[in-house]
Structure 1
Amino acid sequence: MSTVDKMLIKGIRSFDPENKNVITFFRPLTLIVGPNGAGKTTIIECLKLSCTGDLPPNARSGQSFIHDPKVAGETETKGQIKLRFKTAAGKDVVCVRSFQLTQKGSKMEYKAIESVLQTINPHSGEKVCLSYRCADMDREIPALMGVSKAILENVVFVHQDEANWPLQDPATLKRKFDDIFSATRYTKALEVIKKLHKDQALEIKSYKLKLENLQNLKNNAFKLRESIAQDQEQTELSQNQMQDLEKAIQNVDVKIRHTEATLKELRDKVQQKTVKNAERSTLINGQRRQYNDLDEENEGLNDGMENKFDERILRLEGKIERSKREIKEFDDMISAAEKKLTNYVTEISKLQRDAEIHILSKDERDSAIQKLFATHNLGSLPSNITDAVALDLTDRIESRLTDLDNVLQSKKNSNDKELKMAWDLYLDANERWKNAEAQKQAKLEIKNAILKRIEGKKIERDSLELQISDVDLSRIDEREKNMQIEVERRKNQLDQRNFGANIQQKWQELQSIDQKINDLNREKSFIAVDAEERVRLSLKKNDLENHKKKHQKL
């Protein structure tokens, strides 16, 4: 508990600036008695000024507070207040405040000269003096005494002109009570907590939006994987169809060679037919000449020979009929062969057109492969791209697609893990923040209860002071001392419960979560770039699929 021991007053109001007036304060009670104008109120004003730095009311900015130079017959007077008190920790401290009032013509100039705190070094026993600005001194002394400035101003060292503040208007009364009980600080703390809660709610909302966006990216990636799998299946089907087409082309080549051999045989048979026709014509003409010769030579032959000749003629006519039938059969065979030849020629021309289309498709395939390799830096290409080389290059493109798919999958897995870790950290931080807020609320309730108890104890103390003449003073002193010790202990407990450190820790955790989210955003941008590359690859694959469809037509 902080106590006031002594105070030196010099050059303040009616106190002579040349004499040092020392007042010793006794415990538990000091009574100040004197006639009007003796300086009773001045003592209270000096106590208040030493502890809070506030001038008393109606002091005219300090001009009427310092001893008048005209009364002293000087142009300048100096005032000084020294106050020795014990801090809440039981340490002796001396507060020194010096002032100066100068007469300049018809005007008075007030000035605060210096503010000094004197303490004793516990190790060396030497006196240590520390100079402060007035504002720093005004904050330092209430902190050393363990009492707020509002309590010193309005309760402990209240001026008699301001002692009726409990009867003032409600707004002023509320402001006074808020200052005394430091309610404004807790209100601001609650506002800060509410603001943090609102900011965290907004961050949760933004995280949810980012999570939905990442989920959409994940779904798109799955769709891309499915499309890649379908493209791979179609590529395999196209390769199988190309192999079937190559086999069909080989079979057509065999048929073409067989047709050429058949055509050659037909041409030989046509030549043989021409030779046979010539021979037949020659034989018929010879037989006709022989028949005419026989008619002329054998007119005189007998009837028996004529019958034999007729039989021979009939046999020859039968041979002629057979020869005609053979010639007709040869003609039919030649016409059939000519039809086959026409069909074969048509098929050969069609196959030639298909071969030309195949060559064009092959050139387009080669150019598409060259563009793919040049665009995506897949390596060097041979000068002559055969079917085997094209299959090898297609396998290389598919392996590249597989590698890209694996990289994308690994990035997706890492992003999912990091997102899950960030979400877990956020939930953990939110849970700890809720627990801290609940603990803080409970501590606030405990503190309010303690403050109420303190107020009750103060009321009880006031009632006991009224009955002090009838009660044993030693018991009252002991009880008051115990109460002060209890109040000090409660206040120390409340001061040790530092909420600012917990809030700072939560804020650092939120900043770390923001950093992880930024890393995830960078990974997302990388995934977007990979997705664009995959779209380009899908376009190239569509072109390749079109070329393969052209091959299928063959």
Structure 2
Amino acid sequence: MTHLQRLSIQGIRSFDPSEPQEIRFFPLTIIIGPNGAGKTSIIESLKYVTTSMMPPNSNSGKTFIHDVQFMDQPIVRGQIRLLFTDVERKSTIITRSMQATLKYVKDQPQITFRQINSVIKRGDRSIDQKLADINAELLELIGVSKAVLNNVIFCHQEDIHWPLSEGKILKEKFDAIFGSVSYSKALESIKKLRDEEMINLRLLEKDVVFTQHICKEVDARRKQVAEEKSKIEMEKEKLRNLESKINQLDSRINDLIEDEQYAETVSKKISELIGSIDEKRKYANDIGKNCDQTELIALNRQQVDE
């Protein structure tokens, strides 16, 4: 639980801009004093330092800071510093600084207001508004929402009658205090995400069915490819057998060709021999016709053979 410890105010409303005024808080702190003593300014300072919200009717901060027209110089600076124990039971200091500048334009005073800087110091760690969202960080450390701080804990006296407001304003206040708007937005976001995820789920289911169909087709194609490969191997085996038979037939044909050539050569020789024999017989007949029988008888055996 968060505990307020000390509040330092300087240059706010009637608080002196040259010297800070410090207030210590106890489990029960009662602030009393006459009108104009600064009781409301303390509550406004607590509200501003915790929520960064200016009090109502403060002219955007120009009347919240000490009136520069009562100063001897054209610039007045204000600062609010709060020391508290955060939700993690660590001492934390939030400091918010501001400045008002007085200028005269055509003898008319013009006041410009600006917030200088906001810093959270927590141990050795400091967070500057230039580096982070100070308001969000502070609300996390306090552990209370901005609506509760603004409308309940540090409610301005001009706004204390908000529970009697008209229905629309009252509903907005309660929605902000109890976070129902955020809850409703969270529900809407959840429903939206659920619808989107349902759509994605349906698409994924379709993808799964399509993928299963593709897988079945792939399995069928793989089976078909395996069968075709088996058939190809069988045909290759048949082809190898045919090639072996063709080689054998080629070898047989070559043998037959050689035999045929040899037969032709033998036949040619036989024909030549037959022709030679026929010539010899004819020659022998001619000789027999021309020779007398007596001469043939007179010839010896060797001569006849010759």
Give TM-score, length-normalised by structure 1: 0.40
Q: Secondary structure at the match of 1:80?
A: strand
Q: Give yes or no for contact 2:11–2:76 (8 Å, CA) kept in 1.
A: yes
Quick one: distance in 2 between partners of 1:38 and 1:167?
Answer: 33
Other-structure match for 1:94: 93
Report deviation, 1:232.
Answer: 2.6
Q: Give yes or no for contact 1:82–1:96 (8 Å, CA) kept in 2.
A: yes
Other-structure match for 2:9: 9
Report deviation, 1:46.
Answer: 0.9
Q: Match of 1:249, as an amino acid?
A: D
Quick one: distance in 2 between partners of 1:102 and 1:43?
Answer: 23
Q: Give yes or no for contact 1:86–1:93 (8 Å, CA) kept in 2.
A: yes
Report deviation, 1:224.
Answer: 3.9
Tell me: CA distance 1:154–1:77, structure 2 relative to 1, closer, same or farther (3 Å): same
Q: Match of 1:81, as an amino acid?
A: I
Report deviation, 1:244.
Answer: 1.2
Quick one: distance in 1 between partners of 2:145 and 2:35?
Answer: 31
Tell me: CA distance 1:7–1:179, structure 2 relative to 1, closer, same or farther (3 Å): same
Report deviation, 1:156.
Answer: 2.0
Quick one: distance in 1 between partners of 2:53 and 2:177?
Answer: 19
Quick one: distance in 2 between partners of 1:217 and 1:272?
Answer: 81
Q: Give yes or no for contact 1:114–1:131 (8 Å, CA) kept in 2.
A: no
Q: Secondary structure at the match of 1:78?
A: strand
Tell me: CA distance 1:93–1:235, structure 2 relative to 1, closer, same or farther (3 Å): closer
Report deviation, 1:25.
Answer: 3.5
Tell me: CA distance 1:257–1:132, structure 2 relative to 1, closer, same or farther (3 Å): closer
Q: 1:110 aligns with which of 99, 113, 116?
A: 113
Give the alignment of 1:203-352 within 5 angstroms.
Answer: 219-259=220-260, 268=270, 272=274
Quick one: distance in 2 between partners of 1:226 and 1:57?
Answer: 89
Other-structure match for 1:43: 42
Q: Secondary structure at the match of 2:233?
A: helix
Report deviation, 1:36.
Answer: 5.0
Give the alignment of 1:129-528 within 5 angstroms.
Answer: 130=126, 132-133=128-129, 136-163=133-160, 164=162, 167-169=166-168, 172-173=172-173, 176-177=176-177, 179=179, 182-183=182-183, 186-187=186-187, 190=190, 194=194, 219-259=220-260, 268=270, 272=274
Give TM-score, length-normalised by structure 2: 0.67
Q: Secondary structure at the match of 1:110?
A: strand
Report deviation, 1:48.
Answer: 1.0
Aligned residues: 274
Tell me: CA distance 1:250–1:21, structure 2 relative to 1, closer, same or farther (3 Å): closer
Q: Secondary structure at the match of 2:53?
A: coil
Quick one: distance in 2 between partners of 1:103 and 1:131?
Answer: 30
Gaps of 5+ in 2: 289-306
Q: Secondary structure at the match of 2:57?
A: coil
Report deviation, 1:62.
Answer: 0.9
Q: Give yes or no for contact 2:95–2:119 (8 Å, CA) kept in 1.
A: yes
Structure number with the higher strand fraction is 2
Other-structure match for 2:65: 66
Q: Give yes or no for contact 1:178–1:184 (8 Å, CA) kept in 2.
A: no
The CA deviation string for residues 312-355 of structure 1, in whole angstroms up to 9 with x for no partner, is: xxxxxxxxxxxxxxxxxxxxxxxxxxxxxxxxxxxxxxxxxxxx
Q: Match of 1:237, as an amino acid?
A: K
Q: Match of 2:190, as an amino acid?
A: L
Q: Give yes or no for contact 2:62–2:112 (8 Å, CA) kept in 1.
A: yes
Q: Give yes or no for contact 1:44–1:157 (8 Å, CA) kept in 2.
A: yes
Report deviation, 1:205.
Answer: 5.8
The CA deviation string for residues 429-463 of structure 1, in whole angstroms up to 9 with x for no partner, is: xxxxxxxxxxxxxxxxxxxxxxxxxxxxxxxxxxx
Q: Give yes or no for contact 2:102–2:110 (8 Å, CA) kept in 1.
A: yes
Structure number with the higher helix fraction is 1
Quick one: distance in 1 between partners of 2:255 and 2:18?
Answer: 139
Quick one: distance in 2 between partners of 1:115 and 1:260?
Answer: 121
Percent identity reads 27
Q: Give yes or no for contact 2:148–2:177 (8 Å, CA) kept in 1.
A: no
Other-structure match for 2:298: none
Deviates more, 1:95-104 or 1:219-228: 219-228
